[in-house]
Structure 1
Amino acid sequence: MSVSPPILPPILHGGRLDLARAHFPQAPEPWIDLSTGVSPYPYPLPPLAPEVFTRLPDVAALVALERIAAVAYHAGPKAQVVAGAGTQAFIQCLPRLRPATRVAVLGHTYAEHAAVWRAAGAEVSRVETLEEIAAAEVGVIVNPNNPDGRLEPAARLADTARRMAAKGGLLIVDEAFADFLPAEASLALCAGEDGLVLLRSFGKAYGLPGVRLGFALCGAQIAERLRATLGPWSVSGPALAIGAAALADAPWLAARGVALAQDAARLDGLLAAAGFEIIGGASLFRLVRHAAADRWFAHLARRGILTRRFGERPDRLRFGLPAAPAAWERLERALESGRNGL
């Protein structure tokens, strides 16, 4: 029987369960949110003193967190580490700190980078090579990339940053999904060099996006301007305490990396069995292709499972990792029924 494609909500970001509930009101609760690249293993919250809620955040706690983050991210000796309320805070700031008329973004990637530069008046181009990035005033690279997991070698990115710096340019490298890669895959050792800003996300790897914590690794001049733009108390007291505990706990992160690799392999098997072509991904998500991706999106949503779709690439979906055995079972049943009914 032929089934007409459903009218789908314009969900432009992952995590919009409010929109999903509005468009699929009969879906069972609780929803399983696989639309975000967030770890299903949240870091266990440490005991929090009442003062982190009842007092303004302490400068000493901010400095301590930034030092811990520098060690956790293997920052270079010249790097300044600036903490903010998620990497989005830095994405919003950078066009104001370094105005540009021509900005190049590598490949199909996270849309917020292009959006903020366009809003600032820049001409933004999607490009496919590092040569094109180097020719721009400002270049943006998400590495590993969201949603396809493309990974550019750190040495090539470092060379690109130096070429851009030589002509007064700026390279922004967003490493939001780099936590489970070997340290040498990161550009952190080069952080502090001219013409380079490195962004790191806390919430994705530690499963705590609601904490709203992220970091910029950069040279002293850019760091000073970022701090001035962010203003005082840019990170909440609870975020300072939680971030310091988690980033200092290297064994916990290593163990989660092993578990995530096993989960990703399990997800690959389920998706392949359902007829999806796996075309990319990183430790926290998989990108798949299917001619009936829109129908799959609706089929899963009617069963309370939210995936990430892409308006300009309607044959693709991105799946995050389920968080518990019951969620895995629901996903498996939904994929099985879709394979037999779509």
Structure 2
Amino acid sequence: MDPDAVAEVSRVPHGSSDDVNLVDFSANTNPERPPGAACAYESAFAAAGRYPPDDYTDFRVAAGEYVDCDPHHVTPTAGGMAALRLAFGVTVGPGDDVLLPEPSFGEYDREVRLQGATPVAVAHDELLATDPADYAAVVVCNPNNPTGEASDPDELRAYLADCRAADTVLVADEAFLDFTDYPSLAGEPGVVVARSLTKMFGLPGLRAGFAVATGELADRLDAARPPWGLSTPAADVGAHCMRQSEFVAETKARVRRERERMRDRLSAGFEVFPSDAPFLLLGVTGEGAAGDADALLRHARERGFALRDARTFETLDSHVRVAVRRPDENDDLVEALLSFP
């Protein structure tokens, strides 16, 4: 991290509501948790009185099985955000340029600036057509947040080959990829994959995730990671969750079914973007659309729902993002949104 850059970088807004009176559609986390997760947490508490083994063998093995890569290529981190910071920390420095999708997760821009580098934005749906030469790194968010679409696997791998030829690191944020049937880039040379256990397993407060890389990139990640960077409860619960294949399959099926049902109904009142993720981006159209977005957020809140104001994402000026939750909650939200004037 570049000390001279820190003072110039501000915080980034995110979704999530702590109002217990609202159903939180602003954060894209699973409202369900895997069976046995609470027991795994309670069992881990007894071991929390001593430092965790710094090799995190069981967590690495579970993560390797989860994304189909060599466990030795897994670097445990305190959430996907920590994996991204580590990835940028070992690949980007002052004076570098980094290519980012737009609109997309705001932390990419922030983390690049914290390294003293310059973020260069390109339309998210044009990123794989760019030339990666002259960039220290390129970031792909797959599926993209907040638009929701996943990259074509063949096009993504072809672009990774271009990055390798240009000696440019590809940083792949796969926070929502486990809601799809697309393969991970984990274990491919020339890429750092960042994964989060927050979204699929509904445990944002646990702070568990990991990075995956091979060769010299893997060596850099392992050398730079902090000691005991994952708590014992996070490591044990994370390993338990990643082995719950039935839960993952059921969640994917529910999200896919509910997302399409919500999309069909919400299309009657909003521009609804195609999505492979556990959320939908809605465009509020018409005269005074930006003001209507404010009114829509208030309308939803008055009826007990927190939505994500997507206007905090660059290039979006009249949009909201809604998560895909349980069927009855989704029905109630849709009814509330379609009653908006």
Query: If the TM-score is normalised by the length of the shorter chain, which range does it land in?
Result: 0.7 to 0.9
1:209 aligns with 2:204: yes
Which residue of 2 is the match for residue 169 of structure 1?
Answer: 168
Q: 1:283 aligns with which of 277, 280, 298?
A: 277
For 1:330 and 1:54, locate their aligned partners in 2 and report how far apart those are by CA, in whole Å: 44
Which residue of 1 is the match for residue 15 of structure 2?
Answer: 14
SS at match of 1:234: coil
Question: Cα deviations across residues 141-167 of structure 1 (Å, max 9, x unaligned)?
Answer: 001111112222223222322322233
Which residue of 1 is the match for residue 33 of structure 2?
Answer: 42
Shift of the 68–120 alpha-carbon distance from structure 1 to 2, 3 Å rule, reads: same
Which residue of 2 is the match for residue 118 of structure 1?
Answer: 113
| Shift, 1:277, TM fit | 1.6
Q: 1:335 aligns with which of 317, 333, 337?
A: 337
Which residue of 1 is the match for residue 87 of structure 2?
Answer: 94
Which residue of 2 is the match for residue 25 of structure 1?
Answer: none
1:108 aligns with 2:103: yes
Which residue of 1 is the match for residue 136 of structure 2?
Answer: 137
For 1:11 and 1:231, locate their aligned partners in 2 and report how far apart those are by CA, in whole Å: 24
Structural mapping, 1:306-325, within 5 Å: 306-311=306-311, 312=314, 313-323=316-326, 325=328
Contact conserved, 1:133 with 1:140, CA < 8 A, in 2? Answer: no
For 2:266 and 2:307, locate their aligned partners in 1 and report how far apart those are by CA, in whole Å: 13
TM-score by length of 1: 0.83
Q: 2:78 aligns with which of 85, 91, 104?
A: 85
Structural mapping, 1:184-263, within 5 Å: 184=183, 186-188=184-186, 191-193=187-189, 195-263=190-258
Shift of the 133–318 alpha-carbon distance from structure 1 to 2, 3 Å rule, reads: farther
Shift of the 234–265 alpha-carbon distance from structure 1 to 2, 3 Å rule, reads: same
SS at match of 1:43: coil
For 1:108 and 1:94, locate their aligned partners in 2 and report how far apart those are by CA, in whole Å: 21
Contact conserved, 1:80 with 1:192, CA < 8 A, in 2? Answer: no
SS at match of 2:202: coil
Which residue of 1 is the match for residue 298 of structure 2?
Answer: 298
Q: Name the Cα RMSD after superposition.
A: 2.3
Shift of the 278–35 alpha-carbon distance from structure 1 to 2, 3 Å rule, reads: same
Letter in 2 for 1:97: V
| Shift, 1:242, TM fit | 0.9
SS at match of 2:273: strand
Contact conserved, 1:79 with 1:220, CA < 8 A, in 2? Answer: no
| Shift, 1:178, TM fit | 0.7
Contact conserved, 2:61 with 2:71, CA < 8 A, in 1? Answer: no
Shift of the 284–122 alpha-carbon distance from structure 1 to 2, 3 Å rule, reads: same
SS at match of 2:145: coil
Letter in 2 for 1:262: R
TM-score by length of 2: 0.83
The size of the alignment, in residue pairs, is: 312
Contact conserved, 1:206 with 1:246, CA < 8 A, in 2? Answer: yes
Question: Cα deviations across residues 91-131 of structure 1 (Å, max 9, x unaligned)?
Answer: 22233212241110123111101111022222211113324
Question: Cα deviations across residues 36-85 of structure 1 (Å, max 9, x unaligned)?
Answer: 1112222232423242332222346x11111111111112x597011100
| Shift, 1:261, TM fit | 1.8
Contact conserved, 1:147 with 1:281, CA < 8 A, in 2? Answer: no
For 2:227 and 2:317, locate their aligned partners in 1 and report how far apart those are by CA, in whole Å: 43
SS at match of 1:176: coil
Letter in 1 for 2:81: Q
Shift of the 64–151 alpha-carbon distance from structure 1 to 2, 3 Å rule, reads: same
Which residue of 2 is the match for residue 7 of structure 1?
Answer: none
For 1:266 and 1:131, locate their aligned partners in 2 and report how far apart those are by CA, in whole Å: 32
SS at match of 2:227: coil
Shift of the 43–214 alpha-carbon distance from structure 1 to 2, 3 Å rule, reads: same
Identity %: 28
Letter in 2 for 1:174: D
